[in-house]
């Protein structure tokens, strides 16, 4: 099973929904997770030169970067293969009570950014996504001072960014609902699956042999361990449809980006102040995330007791207060 977040479904998510997906951005009026207060919003595309070609990275900025009084927050979404939309609650940090400019973006190959279905498998690797992140930081001229919030694969990517690139401008790091090794994620999912009815286990074991049964079974699991907010938030559904919608581009989802991946033996190289987050009902159980806490010097850990894999939806107010307090030091 592919890593983490792409498999997230809600019990209300059925195959008929997938037919409604379009490979275009939702309008601002369609977004349900926007900050309640009015903040400036800007979106567009950033040129991303890479190996002799120029691609486009879609971004959305909440708040005023030019006249900022607080350090910007860059948000890394999960997958690999999703979109920034399900991370829109983090834009709450841009409202008047917190004042952090927030930058979200769709990683290359996903959603509104350039799709590259003809690239070979080895094109898709961790360093590609780190190069794109560095390009975004330079574009907004914030490379000398910024925070990162990374969710699921985004948290894994953020930890690789720190270890591989040694970014001097990164001030604080939030790793949310992320495994320290792909093997641990698979082990956790298998353990949690055991408590579900036999029809759920059978359908997941058969996979796409019976696609409708497979989705319904995953919906049962993830309504408990993926997002306990029901019905599923529209922005989360939109992100999931980037992988599971009819005609979805599965290039990134199917690439072996994280085959055998682990960062456990390199975590002591992270010297950035780090907050680790997971939920009580998360597939990223305590033992799945523990090495981040134990091996990153001075790391702080918060477990959200009413949440699963998406506490930024499930305990939204507390989540923002805790993250903002950590960023403020």
Q: What's the CA gap between 103 and 236, in Å, rounded?
A: 18
**What angle, 0 to 180 degrees and rounded to 10, lies between the N-to-C axes of helices 198-206 and 211-225?**
120
CA atoms within 13 A on the CB side of 155: 27
pLDDT in tens, the chain (329 residues): 343 333 332 222 223 233 232 343 444 445 567 665 679 999 999 999 999 999 999 999 999 999 999 999 999 999 999 999 999 999 999 999 999 999 999 999 999 999 999 999 999 999 999 999 999 999 999 999 999 999 999 999 999 999 999 999 999 999 999 999 999 999 999 999 999 999 999 999 987 678 778 778 888 998 999 999 989 899 998 998 888 777 789 899 999 999 999 999 999 999 999 999 999 999 999 999 999 999 999 999 999 999 999 999 999 999 999 999 999 98
List Cα–Cα distances, 71 to 61, 74, 93, 133, 156, in angstroms. Answer: 13, 10, 11, 17, 22
Residue 204 lies in a domain: yes
Number of H helices, E strands in the chain: 11, 8
Q: What's the CA gap between 77 and 83, in Å, rounded?
A: 6
In b/e form, how buried is each residue of 227-239, taking b as 16+ CB within 10 angstroms? bbbeebbebbbbb
Residue 122 lies in a domain: yes
Give me the domain span that covers residue 84.
41-328
In this structure, what CATH number is given to the domain that contains residue 171? 3.40.50.1820
* Catalytic (active-site) positions: 152, 282, 309
- Contact indicator for 142, 175 with CB cutoff of 8 Å: no
Residue 156 lies in a domain: yes
The total domain count for the chain is 1
In b/e form, how buried is each residue of 78-116, taking b as 16+ CB within 10 angstroms? bbbbbbbbbbbbbbbbbbeebbbbbbbbbbbbbbbbbbb
Residue 36 lies in a domain: no
pTM of the model: 0.90
Task: Give the pLDDT of residue 14.
Answer: 29
List Cα–Cα distances, 38 to 64, 99, 164, in angstroms. Answer: 12, 12, 38
Peptide bond into 186 cis (omega under 30): no
Longest Cα–Cα distance of the chain, Å, equals 57
Residue 12 lies in a domain: no
Q: What's the CA gap between 314 and 228, in Å, rounded?
A: 7
Residue 94 lies in a domain: yes
Residue 83 lies in a domain: yes
Q: What's the CA gap between 274 and 324, in Å, rounded?
A: 13
Q: What's the CA gap between 213 and 65, in Å, rounded?
A: 47
Count other Cβ atoms within 10 Å, centred on residue 148. Answer: 27
Residue 21 lies in a domain: no
Taken as a whole, the chain contains a residue count of 329
């Amino acid at each position: 099973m592919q890593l983490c977040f792409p498999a997230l479904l809600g019990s209300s998510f059925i195959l008929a929904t997938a037919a409604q997906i379009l490979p275009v951005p939702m309008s601002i009026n369609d977004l349900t997770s926007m900050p309640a207060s009015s903040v400036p919003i800007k979106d567009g595309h950033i040129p991303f030169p890479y190996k002799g070609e120029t691609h486009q990275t879609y971004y959305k900025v909440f708040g005023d970067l030019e006249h900022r009084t607080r350090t910007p927050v860059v948000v890394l979404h999960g997958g690999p293969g999703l979109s920034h939309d399900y991370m829109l609650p983090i834009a709450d940090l841009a409202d008047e009570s917190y004042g952090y400019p927030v930058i979200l973006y769709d990683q290359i190959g996903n959603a509104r950014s350039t799709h590259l279905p003809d690239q070979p498998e080895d094109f898709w690797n961790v360093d590609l996504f780190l190069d794109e992140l560095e390009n975004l930081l330079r574009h907004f001229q914030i490379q000398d001072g910024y925070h990162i919030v990374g969710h699921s694969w985004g948290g894994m990517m953020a930890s690789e960014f720190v270890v591989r690139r040694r970014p001097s401008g990164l001030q604080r790091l939030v790793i949310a609902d992320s495994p320290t090794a792909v093997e641990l994620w698979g082990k956790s999912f298998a353990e949690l699956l055991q408590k579900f009815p036999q029809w759920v286990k059978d359908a997941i074991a058969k996979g796409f042999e019976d696609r409708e049964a497979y989705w319904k079974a995953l919906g049962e699991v993830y309504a408990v361990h993926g997002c306990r907010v029901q019905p599923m938030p529209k922005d989360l559904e939109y992100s999931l449809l980037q992988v599971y919608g009819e005609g979805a581009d599965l290039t990134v989802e199917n690439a072996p980006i994280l085959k055998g991946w682990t960062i456990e033996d390199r975590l002591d190289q992270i010297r950035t102040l780090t907050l680790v987050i997971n939920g009580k009902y998360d597939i990223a159980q305590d033992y799945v995330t523990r090495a981040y806490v134990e091996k990153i010097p001075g790391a702080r850990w918060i477990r959200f007791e009413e949440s699963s894999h998406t506490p930024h939806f499930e305990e939204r107010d507390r989540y923002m207060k805790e993250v903002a307090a950590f960023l403020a030091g």
